[in-house]
Structure formats: C-alpha cells, structure tokens
Amino acid sequence: MQFAINANKNDVCAFYINITKKKNECSVIVFDPVSRIKNIEDILIAEETMKTKIFVLLLAVLLLAGSTSFAGDQQKPFNGWAEEVGDPIPIDPLDYPYLKEIIDQYGPPSVIMYPRLLTYEGNNTVGGKSTYEHAVIFYFFPLPDFSRFVLLYYVDETITVANGDKIFGRISGVYYSSIDKLVDKGIIDGGTGRFEEAEGERTSVFFSDAPIAVFEGYIKY
C-alpha cells in the first residue's frame, strides 16, 4: 500500500535532521524530503535513522540557545521551549486560514484525531514568558496491519509574548510511532506590535514522555 505525499515549498510534511560539528559549533540542518519520500514504507525506514539524531538535536538546541549569532542587525535567534497545559478544545479548522489552505489542497483531515486547539506555556529568546496556541489538524497513514503509523500534522500558530505582542506562524510536522517523537518545521508570518512584519523559521522536537517541546531558529522584525 502506497500513499503519495505532496507538498509545496513551505509545507514540509517530514524532514530529516542531521547535526554537524564544525569549529566546536553545533548546527541544525533541515532537508525537505518531498523528492525522497515517495510512500509510507520510506517514511518508516527513515524512522530508524531518526532515533539517535533526535536526541542529538535536543542537545544541540540546548547548547545553541542564547548563543547563536546571525547576520544582520534585525535578525535574532529564536530559541526556547514550551509545555502543554490545559485540555484540547475542538475547533472548526475552516476558521483558520492556514488550515483551510491545507484542507483545500489535501482534502479533509483524519477523523481518528479531531481538529483541536492546544495551548502551551514556555519561554523564548525574543519574548520571554509566552503562551503558544496551536490550532491543529492531522492526517493518519497506517501500515496495512496497523503495527506502525505516521501522523502528519499542520498547525496555525499564535504566540503571545510577555508584553502582549503576538507572533503568527504555520507549522508542518510528523509523528513517528516507532520512536514516539514529533518533529516539525515552523514558518513565522507576521504578528502584532513589534512583530507586525516578522518573518523567520524554526525547527522543533516534542518528547511525549515528557511533554516539553524545544525549538531553535531565527526571527527578523
């Protein structure tokens, strides 16, 4: 059984993560696998190589937090963490522009996991203590025997930082059942206050056995 996975340049369904060490500095390199992953079996094979790399990514993010430098006076490191709080709230995904765009492109999301609003609290390098609201939809791809599966997810994100300014973003990611981890890529797309014209990117890893996400990237505003 094969499932074709289509994505445009900004909607990465899944990605490989490699960590390189050069001149005693860690860097995270993200690859778009759309040209490589053609079916569900390929994704499951990719899981095996992901097992150790995810833990290396966590270490790299913690080492890089607050120490990464970027070119340009306005481009800043965007590193931090977030922990889920409260209960999921059912939503109509068509009320969220990015989720509506995904549904128009890929069809209705999975009924196995209903569309929901998730809330996280945490800290980051540009806003201090922050609240993260994630409106999320899921697409479920099991093996024929349901022994393992891959869950693709898309998020319309609003981050409210300590002073009340907001950062808007869109996220696409994948959950690997065999290693019980989630990895994703986020695109920053404006906001309010000083983030009104913000842009940037970040990558995240979620650990379900300790529901904290760590992320690393940049933001320009």
pLDDT at 147 over 90: no
pTM of the model: 0.67
- Is 67 a residue whose pLDDT tops 50? no
- The residue range of the domain holding 191 is 1-221
The structural domain count of the chain equals 1
* pLDDT score, position 205: 85
CATH code for the domain of 198: 2.40.480
Q: How far apart are CA 200 and CA 173, in angstroms?
A: 17
- Worst-scoring range by mean pLDDT, 18-27, 52-61, 206-215? 18-27
Average pLDDT on 107-123 reads: 93
Please give the full DSSP string across 80-130, using - where no structure is assigned: EEEEEEEEEEE--GGGSHHHHHHHHHH-S--SSS--EEEEEEEEETTTEEE
| pLDDT band, very low/low/confident/very high, at 182 (cuts 50, 70, 90) | confident
Q: Residue 165 pLDDT more than 90?
A: yes
